[in-house]
Each structure stands twice: as C-alpha cells, then as structure tokens.
Structure 1
C-alpha cells in the first residue's frame, strides 16, 4: 500500500512539474519535419503496383503503410484487392483485422485475428491490435493478457497506455497508476490524456478535469470537460472507444452497446492466453464476494452511481476556467473516419475539401436528459457557458449517406491539385477515347490526392477501362469509394475527349496463334506465355479478326524491329510466331 501511495504521489508530482515547466514546454529545437510514418513504404508499394497491379506482396505492403498513415479506407481497399487474388493468405486476415479494429468493427476484427492465427501468424505479432479489439467489445481481461504479451515482445508506449486504460475500465486503480507512471515521469503528453480518461472512468471526475485544465488551454479544457463527466455512464466498450480512439457515443446510445457488441460473449469469443486458460471458470461467481478485486469493483460501482445523479445537469452547468492559458494540450487520438470524434482541438486542413458540415452543439446533443427546473442555467460571471460550445457528436439516427459508394478509374496521384489538372489534360488526350465523356475528380489519400475518372456504373466496367488503357501503355487501376467518402470535382477540368480518327492506329505485334474460338485462344495464350519464360509478360493477350478466324497477338511493340527480335527469342524457346503490323483503323482488342 505504501508503495502504491508513493507512486501516486510521484505521478502527481510529475504532472505539477511538467505543467509548471513552461520554458521546457515552449522552448523546442527547430528541426526539419520528417515524412509521416508509412509514406515512404506506401510510395515504394505503389511503384511496384504500377509495374504489376496484381502484385499481392505490394498490395499487402501498401495496406500496412496506409494503416500507418491513418487511411483506414485505403487500407481496406488494398487488402480487399489482395484477398480477391489470394483468399487464404493470413497476412490479409491480419491486415483487415487491424483496419476493422481502428474503424470500430471489433467483432469482425476478432474473427479475422483468429483466422490469421490459424494461418500461422504468431500471437506476439498481432497482440497489440488484438488486445484493443477485445477492449472494444468489453472483454478487458483478454485485452490485458494480450497487451502484456505485446509489451514483452517489445511493443511501444501506445500499448502501455492502452493497458493502463483497460485496467481503469476493469476497476484496477493501482494497476492503472503503476502501468502509467513510467510514461508520466518521462513527460509523455499522451499518457496524461490517458490518465485523465482513466480517472474519469474510475469516477474521479474532478481529478480528471484538473489534469485536462493543467495540460490544455482553457478553451480546449472547457470542451473536453462534459465528456469526462459522462465517462462513468458509458459501457466498458464505449469507454475503450472514447479513451483509445477518441470516439464518444451519441446521447441516445450512452450506456448501450450496439447489437453486435452486446451479443458478443467473452467466454465464447475469447482467444487470448494459452489452452489451459480456456478451462478457467467464467462469469460471476456464486455466493458472497470478498476478494480485493470485488471490493474495487464495488467501490467503482458506487462512484458510478454517485456520478449519475450529477450527470443529468451537465448540459446546463457552467465551468469556471483559469484565465491563464495552460502549458500544453492533450493530443487528439481519433483514427476513425466513419464516426464523429471528440473534438480535442483544431486539426490540419486538407488541401481540397470544402468546410465540414455544421455539427450539433452540446445543448442539442444532451437534449434527451431531463434537467431540474429549479437549477439556473445562466452562466456565472467570468465562466464559460458550455451550451454554446460546438462539439462533434454522433447523431441518434444515422442519416442516409450523402455520398454513396461509386466506382472510378484512378489514373494518377499527387499532392498539388493544380498539377493534377495538367496530368488530366495529358492523360485524357492520350487515352484514345477510352475515357471519353468522363470527368476528372479528386479524393484525399493520406498526404496526397487520387486523380479519378468516372464515375462508372459497375466495378466490372471500370476494370474493362483499365484493361483498355493498359493496352495503349497508360497505367491505371480501378478504385471504389466507400459509403460516405466525398469525391471532389477537379476545378477547371474538361471531360475527356472522344477518340481521334482513326481510333486504332497502325501498331506492331507478334502473332503466336490463330483460331475461331476466342475461349480456346485464351487457353492457348496461357500455355504459350508459360513456355515463353517471361518474354511475353505484360504483352497480352490481344486478338484481331482474320477472315473467319482470329489472330492471337502479343504486344504492341514500339517498332517492327523489336517485334522481330521478340519472334527470334520465341523461336529459340521452340515457340513458332511471326511479326504482324496492324493497319490504321484495324481493330485490335484485349482478349477477355
């Protein structure tokens, strides 16, 4: 007990010392900013995909990099594309599980983590994210086992903060303080944020608010205070989402998990630990409970009950704030694009998107709670009226998405929107009519932007355009925007022009077979290309009418001499072929 009190005192002393050290907080060495984690990996993976769009390893690397960049939607797209090529790859299950965890789909994530483990992925590799997924379904015990496995394997400070938060959710105050103390002593600002949330979860609301006031500006502290007052009314899963992901439920959902999480059974779905741990008794014990943990839980529950009587007046209470600007701000941790995060301060502005839509204020968000009519709602002199604060909240009823999922052809990427306008003019002119009538759009993608043509009615139609562009030497790939993802028209861009005549210029090919049945020519191509030892890679197949039959062609080649060189190489491998030059206007098309 004495050791715990000493650690508690040390944590308090660390907070006071850090908040008081204004010089240490404001005097920082000026250094050149580094690229965000994952940006170089993503660029390298995209370069490999430009060479081969079906490179599964590159797709997986791109998905992992997109998660590091916080672009969960892009990550799911990369992993989904890889899954269509190799459905049983355990790395795909792991990648999707991580992405689903960050987008608050923990039940699906846990199923995918289990698939990844069956596929041979070690527990240590996925323990950190899998632990968070367990916390997001309210299974703190399994989460804590996995966090400890991850820390033993060398995981970083984020896992330690998640473990501390999980211990607070389960009512273990001593474990919460002890786990967080090393980070507090190092001056880790994110650890102070975690401590504020953890104390609020444990019912020590005043202490939590004091940390927020000490570590944030007065304006930011006044914004976060109403959320801290409501932490005790959340379910364990909601507390984990608020503390780890920065996502707070709508007023009607406070204290009520969604159907999937509510139906989840920790005793049935638990995957952490060894085989023996699965034989341990589960559920509430019979008879009286006299253990220390039971006492902690009882105390925690009493604290929650007391706070519930105060929470009903939170919408009209005024908050006195210090006139002195605090030394530092707690950083935001929101990583979920699909729900409204807690607003912890101004975020970096995107390059192209217009201002976000108006949000609900706290008075609207808390309108479902009854207020004592004898309580005055007028703010005291010098206080902040929290009813006027514009804070992001989830709506009670999800509105129909303004932006439905749609299909596009991505033809380029870049940071500079104006430069993408030049790219569009060049690409649309060289597309030989395959983009005719389609307009240019952009979509934010990490630190860059996608340049898109479309939209197309189906994904199949977009893929067919990609194949036709590939046949004329233009790299592109299909892209499907997610439900609710906004796509922006490229300002000043004109629709792509129709094909100039002739639509099929004269080009040089290598004819490797002939036949009437196009399906049979597909089998011929696979047999011939396998025997070509890479000489025909990315060169087909294409077909051109030849009387009652069809020519099976590889190409196109830049010149007739290069086509003849290819014929000579194939001859050395025992494959008969000859050069062929199509006439202007002669239709040569990709073989489906």
Structure 2
C-alpha cells in the first residue's frame, strides 16, 4: 500500500500536463544523454579527468539515475576532495536517495569551500524541509525567490514548507500566481497543504475539482492521515510521495516559524495588553469561566438588593433638601392662607390624600409657574396616582401654613400644589420592576395546577425489552459484518503480499547478477537494435555477441554479453577501445531486468 501511494503521489506532485511532459522529455533526455556520452568519451581517454567525472555525474542526475551519479562523484571526490562542485553533486545524490541529513551536511561543506550559494538554495531548502528545519528551509527559499521569482517548482516548495509550519494563509498567497495560471501541480500542492493542517473538507473539495474522480477517491484516506505525520514525514509525502507504513494516533504538533514576508501582524495596544495580561497568564477551563461568571452575577444581584433601600433613602433626603429652597422664598402662599381658618392639628406629616386626587393636568402648570428651574422629565402616570406621602419625609419648617389649606373650599385651594412642587425636583423613584432580582422573579412564578399534574402515559415494559433486544441484535449484526469485512480485507492483503513476494522471487531467479559490456545508450529499443548492427559491422569482436538492453533512468543501455566473469567483459572493452570505440564493463544487480533485443 505504501508503494502504491508513492506511485500516486509521485505522479501527482511531479507531473505537469501531458504535452508539457512530452516537450520537456524531448528536450532534456537527448541533452542529458549527449552530455553523458561526451563525458564518457573523455573518461575513456583519461579515467582521472575530474571535470569529465563531474559532468558525467551531473548528466546522470539529469537522467534521474542517482546511483550512477554517486559512482562518478565518489570517484571524483577520491581524486580531488576539496572541490565544492563535487560536494554539491554528492549532496544532490543524497537528496534524490532521500538522505536529507547527509545532503544538508554536504551542502554546508560546499558553501564553506566557496561554492556559489545561489545555485544550491533551492535544493538545500528541500533538504532542510525533510529534516524538519522549516525555518532554515524558508530562509533558503526566500533568498532563492529574490533571484528567480518566477520559478514554479521553487514557489511550490516554498508554499509546502509554509504549510508544514502551519502558515496556511501565507502558503496560499505564495501559490496564488500559479493558481491563477491554472497550474495543476500548484492546485494539488494546495490540497495537500490544507490536508496536513487538518482542513479536510477544503482539501477534499480541491482534490475533487483538480483530480480524476477515481484518483481523488483513492487519495482521500492518505490525505486524512496527513495531520498525524511529523514535519519530515509531511515533506517526504508531499515532495517524494513516500508515506510511512504506520502513523501516529495524535495530530502532530506544528513548530512555528517566523511569519512569511507580507503577512499582516496584529498590533495590540498597550492598554489592551495590560488588561489582558492577567487572564492570559493562567488559562482557565470553560467550566471555571462559567463558575466565575455565575459568581459575579450573584454578587451583582446581592449588591443591587443591598443598595436599593439606600438609594430610596438618599432620594427622600435629596427631595427634602431640594424642596426647602423652593418653598421658603415664595411669599405668594401667605396672603391666600390668612383668610382661611384651620385648626392647628392639621400640621401632621400625614395629611389627607387631597394632593393625590388633584388631576395631573392641574398640577403641572402650577409647578411650572412657581419653579424657575428647567422642567424635569414628567413622571409616569403610574406615579401620579401614588399618594404624596410616598415621597415626602418629615415636614420641613414653613410647611405648617401650607398644610392648613387642605379643608378650605375649592376656589381657595390653588396654593395646595405647593406641597407637590418638591416632587419634580427629586429624582424619579426606583422602579420596583427594575430592582427585582432573579430570586424575586423565581418566587413570583405561579405554576398552574394543570401543569403540576403528571401526564406520563403507561409503558409496556415487555415492549421496551423487545425493542432493546432488537437493537442489540442490529448492533451485533453490524459488528459481525465489520469483522467479516476486515477478515476479507486482511485475506486480500495477505494474498497480494504473497503474490508480490512470489513475483520478486521469480524476478530474482530470472535476472541474476551478470557481467555485461555497455556499448551505447538510446531511448528506443528498436533504435538500439539498429545501432548494434552498425557496431557489429564496425567492430569484428562484437559480431559473435548477443544484444541486450536494460533500463537506465529515462533511457536504455545497449549491452552485449553476458560474460562468465567481469574480466572477460573488461578484455572485450579494451579491444573495442583499442579500435577507437567507446565501451565499458558493467555488472547488473540481482533482480535488475535485462532483456534480449529483437531484430538483431
């Protein structure tokens, strides 16, 4: 399954459009093959030619044959160990073979030897990504982007590194130029960046829109496991299609890196920081926050209940203080009171409710005429029906004569509103509804008797037991079905594994390690047969040899043999070279497929 995923991801992340692949292959393959042949010809004349060894290694890397390149670079390093170009070649070989730690070491060694940094930034960034050093990788990518801002592969690698470090928004901004150009590889990178940050819905949507339906469905299970991979595993999965056989059971932590250039940073005012410092030092759980909020509400209600009587008493005292300066300097009530005889006992603080019975329309004009202060907001009608004693305290000095006018006839009661003129000057009395607490409201709830009666219908316990038994049977059947499917899947996987092992054994048996002489290369096997016939006419020593071919990166080897030992192959190599030809002895690995050429 892991190998199958590597095929899928490798094809997804490294493939462009079909036409672009064809054009690129037509340009790169002949060029790499020509460079390799040219350097091999130089090596046949001088096996210690360091420049030819480096050129052959770089050509082999261009042909996607890192193992052959490793041989050329290793031989060059043996001859000249202080060459930065050789170290870079070995570093790129290790990167191709997925040994990133050694690649980073060799890249750094090349830098210390004075090799130009600009040519290795992209590959060193990838190597650092695969070792989990996303901060270092992003520094390399940013420096490389300053030199080549339109390099699509570099942009995709940089975006993947940002995604691995959790900067999803910055990664999408980096990919935007490619997304606008409908770069399919960039869309696929976006899907994997979303998946590794556990944004599965968005990742699935991108996969469905940019991949064939069958491939999108096959890749979804692996995208769902991306958040559980470590940073190096994510880099290997995205860039090389390598997925570990086993993943963790928890989402892997993300190591933050410095924000990408252009990322907006939120500036928090100093006052806000000071206020928020206390809560952020000790994070609270949701339960603790709810308990604290309830405690604060209870405390606020308790303080409100305690403050309500005090506010009422203060309002009464303020009413008395404001009423005294208004009544004392007013001389008008005195001549109206003199002709009205009244008994003295009427000066008590509890007079008859005559002021309360006076209509509000008659009170307001009198108050406006006697009080020069601005009109206060008229109290609600509900307060107008309240007796005046509700807001009056003990009678202040000078109110005795005002109190004696209560029993006088109607035409002489005009001064009576003087008792009320202190009301508008006082603040409005607290609304009982506004000062009610939660406990008061709960105590005032009256539950109807009809709602107190139980309305639970009788239940058949046997029927409930039957339903529960049916549900248990359904759950058991579902569990059995899942178990059966798991066993069937395990059997299929075991059969596939056994079949694969049998194929590997057959492949090893059919293709043992053998000795050959390579006399050329070519992309077309039919062309190799034509080349072999031409070489047989030119060199008599090849006339008795059979022609074979073996895959070599993106091209094919033209071989003759096999020989019983390597010495026999070297002997024929010397003969061909003496005759002016180009050839070298080669030993195939066990299991490496070597096929006989047809039409020889």
Q: TM-score, normalised by structure 1?
A: 0.50
Larger Rg: 2
Normalized per residue, which structure has more strand? 1
TM-score, length-scaled by structure 2: 0.49
